[in-house]
Structures are given as structure tokens and as C-alpha cells.
A and B are shown apart, each in its own frame.
Chain A
């Protein structure tokens, strides 16, 4: 059973960079056919795709966030990471790491999510 766990600061100051890491267990991040994803949910709102990375390092980002987002992967640690720069209060959200299974066209495994608040 694949499990994902987010980690990182729960409070970030405006204009700074939000940094989160997702640790994958129960499966290898180097397995082909999966895109390792970041998805966020503003309080009381719906889901917003941020971007994902393939184990090879290829990345895809939501155009609305592209200028501020970097996703990277560390296959040796079975982890992938999110950096979102120049944050504002509008970036306050629950951030989920998840796995998009290409064959299914669905996001089949999710982390529990971590709330990141942007505030001074």
C-alpha cells in the first residue's frame, strides 16, 4: 500500500518561500507511469492542481502558478518537494501530495495534507 506524507513549516511569512516535502513509502518513486503531484485546497474551497513531476525529473505546472513553483524529486530518498515563492495570504491552504496514475488517469493515493498559513 503506497503511503504519502507531507512535511514542512505550517507558517510562512508573506513574500517568503513555502517549502514542503513528500515522503513516499510502500512503493518506489522511480516506478514508471506515475506523476508525483502537489494539489492544494483553500479553506472551505475546492481542489487546485499545482503541478507534478515524473521520476525522470520532467515537470508540469499549473500556468496560473508556474512563475512561482518549483517541484523537484530525490529518488534516493523516495521524496519529492514543492517550493512556492513570493507567497501571500492567498496561498494559505491545505497542501496535499498525491500520485497521479497515468494508466488510470486518476489520482489514486493522497497524503493526509498539511495546512500552510501565510501570515506575518
Chain B
């Protein structure tokens, strides 16, 4: 099984400042088809998760461009260029490379200082 490890567990950020979340997989997420099926989800308090980024760096429909994803192989990063109040919540990485098995990272809580 692929294990997804996120750091930090919690990230207190000042409004308007950047935030960065790391996700590491226990094995390469490069699929045999050449794609890397690593996505990022945001879960605001009391809400279901929402897809932000898919295949490392592609923003899903309606996602603000302050969110960006990067990385390759086993190391990935989600960046928020300027944190806004509505960005408070828990962020998860997820791998679908090992289809049909999905695994999620443990989550990183973004909160305002």
C-alpha cells in the first residue's frame, strides 16, 4: 500500500502571507501511463472536501489561482500564495496512481494566526 505523509500537521498563517504544505508518498506516484495521479483537497469546517488540484498541478474548475501544486515522483507541495480567511480548513493530498486503491494523507490544518 502507498502511504501518504503530510507535513506540517498544522500551519498558522498571517492573512495575506503564503502557506506551503508538503506531501510525501512511500513510493513513486508515476503511473505506467505517464501521469502522476496526485491531487489536493480542501475541507472547510463543517463542509465536505473539495477538489483543488489534480495531477500534481492542474487547478480544478473555479479554484482561485492563488492555489498551486508542484512536485514529482514522491514529493509534492501545495502552495497558497496569499492566504485569505476563506482558506481556513484542512488540506489533504490523495493518490490514485495505485488504482483501484485510493489513499489520503493525514491532513494539514491551515489556521489564521
Q: Which chain A residues have a beta carbon within 8 Å of chain B's beta carbons?
A: 35, 37, 39, 46-49, 52, 60, 62-63, 96, 98, 100-102, 104-108, 110-113
Q: Per-residue CB proximity of B40-58 to A under 8 Å, as 1/0?
A: 0100000011110111001
How far apart sit A105 and B38, CA to CA, in the bound complex (Å)? Answer: 7
Instruction: Count A-B contacts at CB 8 Å.
Output: 70
Q: Is the CB of B48 within 8 A of A96?
A: yes
Chain A binding surface, main DSSP class: strand
Q: B103 contacts the other chain (Cβ, under 8 Å)? A: yes
Q: Is the CB of A107 within 8 A of B41?
A: yes
Q: Is the CB of B48 within 8 A of A112?
A: yes
Q: Which of B20-28, B72-80, B93-101 contacts A (4 or more CB under 8 A)?
A: B93-101
How far apart sit A62 and B50, CA to CA, in the bound complex (Å)? Answer: 21
Q: Across the interface, which residues of A come within 8 angstroms of B99, CB to CB?
A: 102, 105
| Given A105-B39, A107-B39, residue A46 in contact with residue B106 (CB < 8 A) | yes
Task: Give the residue name and chain of the B residue nearest to A96 (CB).
Answer: B48
Q: Which residue of B48, B92, B106 has the most chain A CB atoms within 10 A of its CB atom?
A: B48
Total B residues in contact with A, Cβ cutoff 8 Å: 27
Q: Is the CB of A113 within 8 A of B97?
A: no
Pick the contact of A105: B55, B92, B104, B106 (CB < 8 A): B55
Q: Is the CB of A105 within 8 A of B37?
A: yes
Task: Give the residue name and chain of the A residue nearest to B54 (CB).
Answer: A106
Q: Is the CB of A107 within 8 A of B55?
A: no
How far apart sit A31 and B14, CA to CA, in the bound complex (Å)? Answer: 44
How far does the Cβ of A7 sit from chain B's closest Cβ, in whole Å?
15
